[in-house]
Amino acid sequence: MKNSVIAITFMLLAACSPKEPGLKDTFEGKFVLGAAVNVRQIMGADVKGDSVLFRHFGAVEPENCMKSAEIMPVFGQYKWDMADKYVEFGEKNGLEVYGHCLIWHSQLTPDFCYDKEGNLIGPDELKARMKQHISTVVGRYKGRIKGWDVVNEAILEDGSYRQSPFYQILGKEFIPWAFQCAHEADPDCELYYNDYSMHEPGKLNTAIEMVKDLQARGIRIDAVGFQAHIGMDYPDLDLYQGHIRRVKDETGIDVCITELDMSILPTITRSADVSMTREAWQAALNPWPDGKFPQEAQDAWNARMGEVLDMFLRNSDAVRRINVWGICDSDSWKNGWPIPGRTDAPLWVDRNYNLKPFLHKYAR
Ligand code: XIL
């Protein structure tokens, strides 16, 4: 009797032991596993989320707090509070700390590229402002951020450059300039180009050309970030794997999976069936408005995410980091985007803070 009580006590202690391996331990040597964190997690207001983070993840990305409009609401006027707390949070908890993002057309400081009259500024002025912003932010966290997304989403699906204000003023030269400024501000920091829909051949071709151009000029770039906001019906995983391999084989640099999530909901296609009523169309796009996903849909999601992870594991020589875009499903930006009012379940951890079944063979 006494022995069995002791044995049970040991089993319970082992089950609760903080040393029990988490996902980050299982994948050690394959890739670093990270998650995007929001203000609640950084401020310690999400105790359950933080405990999942510390147990299973080895790296963090800031979901919003380092974007230019957040950190610098008016050009030259910085609000460091949350970004400082983010970096301290990562360091205090032994996580690799990444930066996202320096130059992006979205969540952009409104007057970054404009003069007082609202006109686009000239090329010299923009170069000076980019240098000022990049050296201020990268310089502030010098030696503390492992890698920065330097330029985000500059290329469209067809391979043409996005007509962002940066591009309108400087053409594609804004890209090498941003990388050069970031490297000068922290020469030891890894630097990345980051984009979504990297399964689109046109986008990939231009990204590879851009990397080669930077390399030919001797400008540092360490990896291409594949955001990987994916769906149940895209991308084709053989194609995606092929694109990861192309980056590695054609440029020699790695891929980081930077914003992984996979919507369980129907994909929005641009071509609506014109004979459908608005109500029928909305019902088709939002079949489970109460967030109660049928078992079948959850099984299909787990099966596909398992295949996605297997593919990354098979290519771990080229994929140096996987970062999921949020800790648990209720955190995800995909709730309500791109269609308001939907409840999604795109992440690795469910709303009850449990790892999803496809991960159970690695950790519980
Ligand atoms: C998203 C955040 O998750 C949301 O909270 C915010 O409202 C909009 O931006 N590509 C990126 C990320 O590079 O920064 C975006 O994050 C998602 C798309």
Question: What are 62's two structure tokens?
Answer: 């800031």
List pLDDT tens digits, range 229-238. 999 999 999 9
Beta strands, E only, 173-314: 190-195, 223-226, 229-230, 254-262
Residue 10 has pLDDT above 50, yes or no: no
Residue type, 232: M
DSSP reduced 3-state for 50: helix
Active-site residue among 259, 279, 296, 307? 259
Identify the bridge partners of residue 226 per DSSP, sorted by sequence position.
195, 257
* Ligand 1 atom at minimum distance from 149 CA: 13
279 pLDDT band (50/70/90 cuts)?
A: confident
Smallest CA-to-CA distance from 55 within 348, 256, 358, 351 is with 348
Region 318-326 average pLDDT: 98
Residue 348 has pLDDT above 70, yes or no: yes
Spacing, Cα 107 to ligand 1 middle (Å): 9
Known active-site residue 259: yes
pLDDT of residue 272: 60
List pLDDT tens digits, range 17-39. 556 899 999 999 999 999 999 99
Active-site residue among 63, 96, 153, 190? 153
d(CA 239, CA 287): 29
Identify the bridge partners of residue 238 per DSSP, sorted by sequence position.
none
**For residues 139 and 10, which has the higher predicted lDDT (pLDDT)?**
139
With contact defined as beta carbons under 8 Å apart, do 186 and 222 qualify?
no
